[in-house]
Structure 1
Amino acid sequence: MSLRLKLTTACIALSLPVMAHASEDGQIWTTASATVKLSDRWRFSQEVVGRFSNDRDGLYEVEMNSLIGYKLNKRVTIWAGYTHDPQYNGGDFSVMEHRGRQQVTFDNIVKIGPGQLSARLRLEERWREGIDGTAWRFRPYVKYVLPFREGGKTALVLSHESFIDLNTTSFQRVEGEERMRNLIAITTPVARNVNAEIGYLHQHGFRPDADDSNDNVASFSLSFSF
């Protein structure tokens, strides 16, 4: 069995529900992001994510992330910024969430076969308007990018991210791992400095007092670099 087939099979297996009883939801996530090179070391990143759900009758979240990054070297960048995250119920506004975000990214740190492994460590502080408490969350992330041909820019993307709650509040109720995301996608350039990615993301949520959740997500994104 080829390395590409083995990795694809492994990612699909990770994407399957890990609990026998779980609620199911079909979703669509759309993302647009831009990274601007301010100098040799400084970067600015802006990302907007729109999320739509069958169970929530349409739009349920618009996540806007603004980050400033500083490259320590060609592989490691430290970032800090703010997330503006209005949430909706059936398209009607329900609650406003604000987040502080700090992260370290490690680009192409390990070569595995013909592909490259990258990683990210992210810490978030979350506040909701009109609700007491600060929720702390840790989000480790790994991504493997496997070009379809040597030197090519069209590639298979496999990624995993865990959400680990570091405390509990009235709106963050799980101690430890709250959810995981596993993605299998194809990325390709569509214009100069523009990449498109399309894929399937499985999000599994751990809920101690109810059935676990499984979100089956069609994921579409465009990324710009300047």
Structure 2
Amino acid sequence: MRKYLIAGALLVSTAIAVPARADDTQNWETLNVTVNLPDNFKLSSETVFRDSDARGFYEIEENLMVGKKLNKTVTVWLGYTFNPLYNAGTFRTREHRFRQQVNFDNVLQIGKVKVGGRIRLEQRWRENASGTAWRLRPQVKASVPIVGKVNFNLSHESFIDLNTQTFQGVEGYERMRNAASISWPLNKKFGVEVGYLEQHGFVPGGPDTNDHALTVGLNANF
């Protein structure tokens, strides 16, 4: 088990060691509710609140999705994101997204380590800004039990911008998120996940940026 914890520490320390123009400490809180429907359909609501030392309270994400589980491994999703943006609590603008997603659950197992992932495509619009921004977000996640039903998790997510708009200035690899967390069930319907996430932004022609986020999530499944 020690080797998995060491791997997580190396992932985090590598992310922190990248030279940055601006480091920011943040807090991300998430509420994720999934409702299982007949015929392997699902409804999902994910609500995310974000605040930081540099920007104060700056973002809410409300992600509403409907999914269809095709088999034990693959689930396809369609959804909409309502995304108000703030600066230290003062409203700036709203972003809207149409989201298509394919989840791959437990596609690989190495010993006790289970590996899954997802591919997400987004079309993004902002109020008072013209154009549609396209973005691809692949993610891979590995989980291993450490004590009883407590899991240690590592994940990597890439943000690949497929075009540029006034609010999406990078075409190509824009940023990545590397995360380490511990998750455990509270009962049959509720679970908690707490961890650290490093968001590394690639800045063309300048030093990169790093956001260091404490993440706390409550998951509910009905």
What TM-score results when the alignment is normalised by the length of structure 1? 0.94
Q: Which runs of 5+ in 1 are unaligned?
A: none
Other-structure match for 1:148: 146
Secondary structure, aligned partner of 1:133: coil
Distance 1:11 1:21 in 2: 17
> 1:87 aligns to what?
85
Aligned residue pairs, count:
222
The letter for the 1-side match of 2:87 is N
**Residue number in structure 2 paired with 1:110:** 108
Q: Secondary structure at the match of 1:69?
A: strand
Q: Residue 135 of structure 1 aligns to which amino acid in structure 2?
A: A
Q: Which residue of 1 aligns with 2:26?
A: 27
Question: d(CA) in 1 for partners of 2:3 and 2:20?
Answer: 32
Counterpart check, 1:212 vs 2:208? yes
Deviations 1:103-144 (A, max 9, x none): 000001100221100110000000001100100000000000
Contact map agreement 1:59 1:90 (CA 8 A) in 2: yes
Judge conservation of contact 1:17–1:214 (CA < 8 Å) in 2.
no
CA distance in 2, matches of 1:98, 1:53: 22
Report the counterpart of residue 157 of structure 2 in structure 1. Answer: 161
The answer as to whether partners of 2:12 and 2:198 remain within 8 angstroms in 1 is: no
Percent identity between the aligned chains?
48
Deviation at 1:5, TM superposition (A): 3.6
Partner of 2:64: 66
Deviating more after overlay: 189-198 vs 77-86:
189-198
**1: CA distance between counterparts of 2:160 and 2:11?**
21
Alpha-carbon distance, 1:74 to partner = 1.0
Deviation of 1:2 after TM superposition, in Å, equals 4.6
Distance 1:12 1:72 in 2: 35
2:219 and 2:190 map into 1 onto residues whose CA distance is: 6
Provide the alpha-carbon RMSD of the alignment.
1.4
Aligned partner of 1:200 in structure 2 is: 196
1:6 offset after TM fit, Å? 4.3
Shift, 1:30, TM fit: 0.1
Residue matched to 1:36:
35
User: Which residue pairs with 2:220 in the alignment?
Assistant: 224
The amino acid across from 1:195 in the alignment is: G
**Residues 48-103 of structure 1: per-residue CA shift (max 9 Å, x gap):** 000001100x2100000000001110110000010000000010100100000000
Inter-partner Cα distance in structure 2 for 1:163 and 1:154: 29
Q: Aligned AA for 1:48?
A: T
CA distance in 2, matches of 1:14, 1:141: 18
Which amino acid in 2 is paired with 1:213?
T
Tell me how far apart the structure 1 counterparts of residues 78 and 17 of structure 2 sit (CA, whole Å).
33
- Distance, in Å, in 1 between the alignment partners of 2:218 and 2:61 is 15
Aligned partners of 2:36 and 2:61: how far apart in 1? 22
CA distance in 2, matches of 1:38, 1:131: 37
Cα distance in 2 between the residues matched to 1:183 and 1:21: 18
- The structural deviation recorded for 1:198 is 0.5
- Give yes or no for contact 2:20–2:210 (8 Å, CA) kept in 1: no
Aligned to 1:12: 12
SS at match of 1:187: strand
